[in-house]
């Protein structure tokens, strides 16, 4: 299990949920304390494991529903790896890409300085989001 997240306090998480229009229940706050403070790209299983140590008997459905709600409200991003059924959740909602290390299964943030994407789609398209995922091996 990952170390205890240490950035946002309970009341800060609660306020962030309220501002986003999400009812801050105890389960949601616990899930957010983990997900919003992680520098890694947490999976549902990692979130569930951490939350179980804080609030016993939180259902897996509650974890999934909360993560989907956070994605819907733009507090986190969901990253679906094509080679896996697992979804990873990213608390970094700034525009950035990812490098997936095929040997370690590590997902690494790439800044806009490290990648360039050019869209010449014309006026018929409105781009809401671009997700860049590069697969390979880290040397």
Would you state the pLDDT for residue 27?
94
Domain 10-80 CATH (choose: 1.10.10.10, 3.20.20.100, 3.10.20.30, 2.40.50.140): 1.10.10.10
Q: Is the dihedral of CA 37, 65, 62, 64 positive or negative?
A: negative
Would you state the pLDDT for residue 97?
93
Distance between CA atoms of residues 31 and 25, nearest Å: 10
24-58 pLDDT, tens digit per residue, is 999 999 999 999 887 789 999 999 999 999 898 89
Q: What is the pTM of this model?
A: 0.83
Q: What is the mean pLDDT of the chain?
A: 89
Residue 114 pLDDT more than 50?
Answer: yes
Q: Residue ranges of the domains in the chain?
A: 10-80, 94-139
Confidence category of residue 15, pLDDT binned at 50, 70, 90: very high
**Pairing relation of β-strands 97-101 and 133-136?**
parallel
- Residue 38 CA from chain centroid, whole number: 8
């Amino acid at each position: 299990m990952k170390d205890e997240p240490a950035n946002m306090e309970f009341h800060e998480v609660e306020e962030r949920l309220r501002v986003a229009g999400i009812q801050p229940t105890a389960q949601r706050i616990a899930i957010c304390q983990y997900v919003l403070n992680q520098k890694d790209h947490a999976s549902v299983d990692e979130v569930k494991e951490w939350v179980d140590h804080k609030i016993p008997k939180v259902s897996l459905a509650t974890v999934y529903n909360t993560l989907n709600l956070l994605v819907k409200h733009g507090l986190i991003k969901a990253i679906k790896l094509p080679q896996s059924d697992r979804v990873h959740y990213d608390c970094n909602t700034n525009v950035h890409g990812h490098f997936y290390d095929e040997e370690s299964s590590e997902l690494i943030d790439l800044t806009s300085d490290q990648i360039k994407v050019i869209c010449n789609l014309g006026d018929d398209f409105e781009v809401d989001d671009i997700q860049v995922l590069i697969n390979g091996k880290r040397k």
